[in-house]
Amino acid sequence: MNETESMPISPEILDSLDWEGLKYMVAKTALEVDLFSIISQGHRTLESISIATQCHERGMRILLDALCPLGLLDKSGSEYALAPTAEMFLVRGKASYCADTYLTWWQNRNRMIENLKTGTASLDLSGPDAGEFWANYTAQDLVTWPQIAEKARQSWQTMGVDRETRPGLHILDVASGSGAKSFVLAQDDPDAHVTALDLPQVLKVSAQIAEAMGVAQQVSFLPGNMMTIQLPSNQLDIVRFGAILYYFNPDQVKVVLQKAHEALRPNGLVVIGTLVADEERCRSEMALLGAVELFNVAPHSHVYSFSEYKEFLEATGFSEVLCHTDTQISAMKL
């Protein structure tokens, strides 16, 4: 008897899903009326907020109150104020504003049934036209890069990569996003150099983060994508792939891995930051739910298992393929 069969039959799973969905609906509705930006403009009372959002007072009061225990609003007497998270990320015009990204994701989920019937995404966030979307998403790292950097530093150390073991690294960070995960290697070694490869709009954000991390002189910015970019042979020590390979079909994955292999020096390392599905594709919640989201926004997406990545890597000349966590894989060019 497996674990599922031994559990008592109960609607608890459905109740839990319903409750989480309600939270999401509250936040989505608030973003759709640009509520947080309006409150930031000085509208703090129910009457003022209702007028500014053109909403009925009864419904708006219920929405405002519900946002308080979610950690997005604070309430004092009859006035509402932005909680720190909303203040930092949900006020239009702020450098770290990223609400448009979440709203795009959330609204597009309403088209899931259409995508299921057609078998493809109704929105494509994997192409060059998605630059503004990904720049908006990356903007939150202007605030959170210190936490990202510290976690990345620990991850590199787990893989045995630091100034002592691999001095003077030349790193290509593909789909670099903010770049913070590779910039830490430049922080720790003044002889290291990072090339950040991403869409032009995203690189504008990563340039700000390179400045904030004190490594701007050690970073080059390369707009483009790995499918079309030309790289010199045997010049790199590390090629790091950010959250990108699950947007590609298997043939495309092999193409970009082959290009990485050719660009690396002997003993060079490829590192893949990705969602990794369990082999049976039934247990890894983050990866399998991520696959649903990707299906909705990318026509060629596929969340691969470790054995699939291992096959791709070995087929393109890599060896010593290791899965460090459920989001990170590495392999060596011998």
Q: Domain spans of the chain?
A: 3-94, 131-332
259 contacts 226 by C-beta, under 8 angstroms: yes
Q: Could you give the C-alpha distances from 63 to 22, 82, 257, in angstroms and in order?
A: 11, 14, 48
Give per-residue pLDDT as tens, 221-247.
999 988 888 888 999 999 999 999 999
Whole-prediction pTM: 0.93
Question: Which string of DSSP letters, residue by residue, matches 152-173?
Answer: HHHHHHHTT-STTTSTT-EEEE
Cα(134)–Cα(89) distance, rounded to whole angstroms? 15
CB neighbour list of residue 21: distance below 8 Å, 6 or more residues apart: none
Q: What does the pLDDT look like over 45-95, one tens digit per residue? A: 999 999 999 999 999 999 999 999 999 999 999 999 999 999 999 999 999
pLDDT value at 3 more than 60: no
The fold adopted by the segment(s) 3-94 is Arc Repressor Mutant, subunit A (1.10.10)
Neighbours of 70 (CB within 10 A): 14
The C-alpha torsion from 68 through 71 and 73 to 78, rounded to 10°, is: 30
Residue 207 in this model has a pLDDT that exceeds 80: yes
Residues 6+ apart with CB under 8 A from 280: none
Is 131-332 in the same CATH topology as 3-94?
no
Thinking of the domain 131-332, which architecture would CATH place it in? Answer: 3-Layer(aba) Sandwich (3.40)
